[in-house]
Amino acid sequence: GLYLKYRLRMLNGDEFLTKEFSADEFHILETDIFFLLSFIVIFVLAIICAQKLRERMLFHTTYKMFLFTTAMEILSLFIICIAYGKFANTGDEDFDLKTFGRIIEATGHIVFLLMLLLLGKGYNVTRGRLSQSSSIKILVFIALYSVIYAVLFFDDAIFSDPGLVLYLYESPPGYGLIALKIVAWAYFSFACFMTLKHYPEKKKFYYPFYFFYSVWFVSPIFVLIACFAIPRYRREKIVNGIEVAISFLSHTYLLFLTRPSNTNKNFPYHVRTSQVGLQRYMISYHITLSHHNNSNNNNNSNNNNNDNNHIQSRLESWRIIPRQTTR
């Protein structure tokens, strides 16, 4: 008999950006390229601001996390654009590359969430360090969030039928991710409320910060509602654009809030990095000093003089007080 091996290639017209894509994927590549370039602009501006913050000793951990998440967004969009570009050119979809891009995007999302929770707790804003109990709570919450997020993410990537699920939030794992983000929003709300209760003078930063990023937390609900209002053949491209736009706006607004300008009345950072180091040093030094005094009660006067000189030199090296000059 006759043995034939063939391959059918179905096209949507002859244009490069549409011929290999289905109707619900039209313009996703162009949208991602646009936001990739936009995120690069935000990253460059953030680097410029970071340099100014470093000069003022205000380059804190939370701002470094912001830079990291912006870089993750750029990298994930770059990889996803490559995957879509290959598909537009050859018609062969690279699921592994696209999944890798989504993993990087999820990593940036989790770090961004951690940054919001830390800012909500007042870290780098009202205090230089968190209490041990607060640190443990945030660490446990982020660990659980990451594990559950990873399970739901890979469940959707492996077991969901792409013919039935047009977008992540249309599947049971997507519903789980929405519920997870709502729980994170509740934790974020509680953290901001407690910080404002103890530091009401920071309301100029926390009011816009809380209300804007509350929208970021609950945005998947609006995306889910939009899924049922948008025709199926337009759903994926519109929801993709909405989600990337929300991510871009969240990074842009944080850059706006943290810009080191005299006209910025919402600027959050007033604890200098040198003061953070001083706080950590004084805690450890106090423990050492207490132990030292308990074992050397007969030499208190000499020890106190040496201790004062030691603290003086530390304060000078951290620029907390002016350096003393000898005459």
In the chain, what are the domain boundaries? 28-259
Which residues of the chain have a pLDDT value below 70?
1, 160-168, 273-327
pLDDT attached to residue 40: 97
Q: At what angle do helices 203-229 and 95-120 cross, to 10 degrees?
A: 150
Decide: 257 and 63 in contact? Cβ < 8 Å.
Answer: no
Q: Where are the alpha helices (DSSP H) in the chain?
A: 28-55, 61-90, 95-120, 132-159, 172-198, 203-229, 232-257, 273-295, 300-317
Q: What is the pLDDT of residue 279?
A: 47
- Residue pair 180/148 in contact (Cβ under 8 Å)? The answer is yes
pLDDT at 189: 95
Quote the DSSP letter at residue 324. P
pLDDT of residue 277: 47
Q: How many CA atoms lie within 13 A of 255 on its CB side?
A: 20
What is the per-residue pLDDT for 323?
Answer: 43
Query: How many Cβ atoms sit within 10 Å of the Cβ of residue 24?
Result: 19
**Among 61, 38, 50, CA closest to 127:** 61
| Residue found by looking up tokens 């997870």 in the block | 180
In sequence order, the 6+-apart residues with CB closer than 8 A to the CB of 272 are 56, 57, 58
Read off the amino acid at residue 316. E
Question: What distance in Å separates the CA atoms of residue 177 and residue 169, rounded to the nearest whole number?
Answer: 8
Bridge partners of 127, per DSSP, are: 123
Cα 220 vs. chain centroid, distance in angstroms? Answer: 16
pLDDT for the residue numbered 301: 47
Tokens of 232: 């199926």
R_g of the chain computed on alpha carbons? 26
Cα–Cα distance measured from residue 266 to residue 257, given in angstroms and rounded to the nearest whole number: 6
Q: What is the pLDDT of residue 272?
A: 72
Helix (H, G, I), strand (E, B) or coil at 17: coil
Question: Could you give the CA distance from residue 70 to residue 68 in angstroms, rounded to a whole number?
Answer: 5
What pLDDT is attached to residue 282? 45
Nearest to 171 by CA among 182, 181, 161, 184: 161
What tokens does 200 get? 């009401």
Q: Is the alpha carbon torsion for 50, 56, 59, 60 positive or negative?
A: negative
Q: What is the pLDDT of residue 310?
A: 52
